[in-house]
Chains A and B, each alone.
Chain A
Amino acid sequence: KAGVTQTPRYLIKTRGQQVTLSCSPISGHRSVSWYQQTPGQGLQFLFEYFSETQRNKGNFPGRFSGRQFSNSRSEMNVSTLELGDSALYLCASRATNTYEQYFGPGTRLTVT
């Protein structure tokens, strides 16, 4: 099976812009989670989707949003970008009734 894929891999944006990141889970996985990874904070949980429903959300401002499509692909959107949003954004998928997550390679977002 193909692994989790994320696009784009690298992105440079300017403060105030918005950005959309995409994640395609492993085939058959219906749960998709998003994380923000920064050197100082480690992995911070953003949200988790299952069958197009957001089941859990981390402690991030409303500028961070996401959605999941019927084919389990997920997108996350960050509006009004700030310098502090520069990070590696990781997506992970999980099969139903299992507990291990499988991660994608991440999208490196740089905000200038």
Chain B
Amino acid sequence: AQTVTQSQPEMSVQEAETVTLSCTYDTSESDYYLFWYKQPPSRQMILVIRQEAYKQQNATENRFSVNFQKAAKSFSLKISDSQLGDAAMYFCAWTASTGNQFYFGTGTSLTVIP
């Protein structure tokens, strides 16, 4: 089954601290792409970071980085120096190289405590 599992429905982090959101996925594809999206309370879904499965190097975007473990089918998101604006629902997703269907997890709601 082409599934995405986010086992942490809710997480909280102190401002300026680091938090890691977990994601595992299941696919038989050999070539695929992984994403983390952020959905703030305003509801606009925003792309946070992407990872190509063929790349061993973990992607980073400023304070956001991933830990991609292909064999384990794990794709966690680390947010460093958490800010109040990071509070949102975070969704993990993947798509095959055809790109015509995305599979999303059920999301992790992140609260940032001042």
Query: Are the CB atoms of A42 and B91 closer together than 8 Å?
Result: yes
Query: Do A43 and B47 touch across chains, with their CB atoms under 8 A apart?
Result: no
Cβ of B100 and Cβ of A55 under 8 Å apart?
yes
Q: Could you tell me which residues of chain A, from 10 to 41, have a CB within 8 Å of some CB in chain B? A: 31, 33, 35, 41
Contact-residue bracket for chain A: 20 to 34
Secondary structure of the A side of the interface? strand
A43 / chain B contacts, CB cutoff of 8 Å: 91, 102, 104
Contact of A66 with B by CB under 8 A: no
- Number of interface residues, chain B, beta carbon within 8 A: 22
Decide: A42 near B107, CB < 8 A? Known: A48-B101, A99-B50: yes
Q: Provide the bound-state CA to CA distance between A31 and B6, in Å.
A: 27
> A99's contact among B33, B46, B106, by CB below 8 Å, is which?
B33
Interface residues of A in 48-105 (CB under 8 A from B): 48, 50, 55-56, 58, 88, 90, 92, 94, 98-105
On A, residues with C-beta under 8 Å from B are 31, 33, 35, 41-43, 45, 48, 50, 55-56, 58, 88, 90, 92, 94, 98-106
